[in-house]
Chains A and B, each alone.
Chain A
Amino acid sequence: TLKLICTTTAVQRKNVGASGPEKYTEAFIKKQIEEFNLGKRHLANMMGEDPETFTQEDIDRAIAYLFPSGLFDRQARPLMKHPTEVFPEQRKIQWGEDGRPFHFLFYTGKQSYYSLMHETYEKFLNVQKHQDQLIAQDLPLQKEKRNLAGSRWLTKIELEEMLLEKVSDDDYSRFIQLLQKLVALPCADIEEKYIQKFSKEVPLQLQKVVIEPLQHDERGVAFSTGEGKRKTARATAVVYDNGTGKITVNGIDMLHYFPVLQDREQLLFPFQFLDRIGKHDMVCTVSGGGRSAQAGAIRLASAKALRSFVTEKEVEFMRQAGLLTVDPRVKERKKPGQEGPRRKFTWKKR
């Protein structure tokens, strides 16, 4: 039992890694967990549901119902989650009452990082030993390649979260190099489980947009629908085959609905691109926005509808021409202290 003076200096010297300025003691966390569970049961009671089978999704829905918020940032809205998700993980105090640290690498400064490297190198040596054994016994080496295409290593931030301490860029790259060396060895499947802790599946970008097949209406004419939007305008277009190039918008002929040439040119663009100007009829409905926005929305809708009539290569051409992309430009918000989104107030010298 050392005197208090010695313990205080030891306490001051500790480094709390990867956590905020406040400290949450274990007792505090436990209390929070109890309160959360109680609160969960109360909430279930309030909503009239069964307290035993009240899941986190139900909690989220209930909170969204009881405290509706119009804030855009999801993380700013009222939230009720398990304390382990709310309070970030913190390093427990690394030394005992006598001031002696638990871990043998404490005095390196980055104890978890070095212990991790140590472990990984141990596995590496294990694999090499196994390999030598197999060579000695003249057994064939297993060559099953891990599927590296669908997986990636942990990012630096994820590694920091796992180790609960800061990792510098150099250290991180050294760790990844070691992992790659380990994986490169032919008999690395032995340590597969260990390696899987540090790799993640990347969802392949197989989100191919499904092109809908053509539908046929009563007369036997093939048609397809498409939707489009631009700024605040929303449009739906139905493109019929075997037509004369007539276009009807909200029941009115295109020539009357869009007196301006520019809007009609926008409508013309998808058909002209595919050389199908006089071949299709179109009936569309549009609402919202202004004259130009409606024209842009109908253009997108008709391009999407025309995908069903056209080969895949041409669809790719259309995509590259920008006919199938939603225009992300919307009206910018006005900021306080300025007259408009960018315009500042007139500057007066005095």
Chain B
Amino acid sequence: QLDRGCALPTAARAGLSSVSSQDVPAEKPRAIFHTSESDPAKHTEQHEGRLYNIPLEEVKAVFPHGLPHRFQQQIQTFNEARVMVRKPALEILAYLKGSNFAHPAVRYVIYGERGTGKTMTLCHVVHYCSRQGWLVLHVPDAHLWVKNCKELFQSSYNKDRLDQPLQASVWLKNFKTSNERFLEEIKTQKKYIWGKRESTEEGRPLREVVEQGLARVRSASDAVGVVLRELKQQSHRGSFRLLVAVDGVNALWGRTTLSKEDKSPVSPEELTLVHNLRKMLMNDWNGGAIVTTLSQTGSLFKPSSAYTPQQLLGKEGFDALDPFVPIPVPNYSPREFESCYGYYLERKWLQHEKAHTEDGKAELQFLSGSNPRQLDRLAGPL
């Protein structure tokens, strides 16, 4: 366990304060890795390679379910959330800033090899959008919806499709936490009937739909569908911006491990959640953007060396997502590697004596191949 109140003067790590960290000369070399800009809107190429802090309350509000597991553990250990500003994220932010919201939503696909930081890039973009006041529709991992589902019910809305109440309710809960104020403002435009006795009138806040889904777990998937449809219809009115952030989007067009009661395999279209999400990803609405990530880690039936959009999405997915803006995420550049290493050193995560030397740094760089995930795993036992 790290002791927070250690000898490091807190002036070195500028969290929210805008005090420049040049006060103590001895801290100069370490402070380069951090930047005091905690607003992603102001991140430019100058900040590239540096880590910025997200206050913990914001983390809980914005990312109830988005961050990678290891990063959450790191937040717990270090008691702060530091995200590195990298080029792909800056690229997307630049596009978002300059995009015209009257046009149909542009789709961005973040792809890269395993462990290069695609999910973290997505979270960076999500943080920016939530700071800017957008409505964020964050699906943490679409793979969770196509595998390991214990309960499948036949949808009441459409006989062919299958419901997944558990996943839907979990997602609704997180959606509520992240977008509290929007749920009040947005009103439904149609009347929805959930069952014999429940129905939602026109003009009621969306929050009621969400609560309905949470209360009646059976109809949670339909609630999700309703939410998505409402948001899509209303986003181009211009009252709010909508960001659809999906991680592991290749799950929507692959195969599933689920099977019906008669042991026949289920294709993704037959799942309500997937069907609705696919409609969301079409670019027939405007007033927002769609940012997606490909992920090989959770993908089913795909070789582990596949990482390009074509390989992971398959023909169907590629055609559905075409046209899109591909954003490759590479391994750490030397500068980024140095800042990550410096951060670990500063937080006293690397305890081994040799890790503090130049040779140790070179060794870490060689062994991890500048891959963020490998570096993280390597630095763990040290």
Contacts and interface: CB of A to CB of B under 8 A. Distances in A.
Interface in B334-382: 359, 362-363, 365-369, 371, 374, 378
Contacts of A99: none
B295 to A, nearest CB: 17
A278 B369 contact: no
Contact of A261 (B113, B359, B378): B378
A265 B359 contact: no
B352 to A, nearest CB: 15
B366 A277 contact: yes
A256 B371 CA distance: 11
B46 interface: no
A253 B366 contact: no
Interface stretch (A65-73, A267-275, A283-291): A267-275
Contact of A256 (B305, B359, B366): B305
B366 A268 contact: yes
B52 to A, nearest CB: 28
A163 interface: no
A245 interface: yes
B374 A278 contact: no
Given A255-B371, A256-B305, A245 B366 contact: yes
B369 A254 contact: yes
A123 interface: no
Contact of A255 (B359, B362, B363, B374): B374
A271 B366 contact: yes
Interface in A229-263: 245, 253-256, 261
22 contacts: A245-B365, A245-B366, A253-B369, A254-B369, A255-B368, A255-B369, A255-B371, A256-B113, A261-B367, A261-B378, A264-B366, A264-B367, A264-B369, A268-B363, A268-B366, A271-B366, A272-B359, A272-B366, A277-B365, A277-B366, A278-B362, A278-B365
A271 B367 CA distance: 12
A275 B378 CA distance: 20
Contacts of A256: 113, 305
A271 B363 CA distance: 10
A254 B366 CA distance: 10
Interface string B48-59: 000000000000
A268 B374 CA distance: 15
Interface residues of B, number: 13
The listed residue with most A CB atoms (<10 A of its CB), out of B363, B367, B374, is B367
Nearest to A254: B369
Given A268-B367, A277-B363, 7 more contacts: A245-B366, A264-B367, A265-B367, A275-B359, A277-B362, A277-B366, A278-B366
Contacts of B368: 255
Contacts of B305: 256
Contacts of A278: 362, 365-366
A130 to B, nearest CB: 70
Nearest to B371: A255
Contacts of B366: 245, 264, 268, 271-272, 277-278
Interface string A308-340: 000000000000000000000000000000000
Contacts of A265: 367
B365 to A, nearest CB: 7
B356 to A, nearest CB: 16
Given A255-B374, A256-B305, A261-B378, A277 B369 contact: no
Nearest to A268: B366
B84 to A, nearest CB: 19
Nearest to A267: B366
A243 to B, nearest CB: 12
A253 B114 CA distance: 13
A265 B369 CA distance: 12
Nearest to B377: A261
A268 B362 CA distance: 10
A264 to B, nearest CB: 5
A172 to B, nearest CB: 58
A280 to B, nearest CB: 11
Given A255-B371, A255-B374, A256-B305, A272 B365 contact: no
Contacts of B378: 261
Nearest to B367: A264
B221 to A, nearest CB: 38
Nearest to A278: B362
A146 B368 CA distance: 62
A256 B113 CA distance: 10
A78 B371 CA distance: 60
A256 B374 CA distance: 12
Contacts of A277: 359, 362-363, 365-366
User: Which among A254, A255, A256, A278 has the highest number of chain B CB atoms within 10 Å?
Assistant: A255
Contacts of B365: 245, 277-278
Interface in B174-197: none
B359 to A, nearest CB: 7
Nearest to B334: A244
A264 B362 CA distance: 13
Contacts of A264: 366-367, 369
A271 B365 CA distance: 13
B29 to A, nearest CB: 20
B165 to A, nearest CB: 38
B200 to A, nearest CB: 51
A277 B305 CA distance: 27
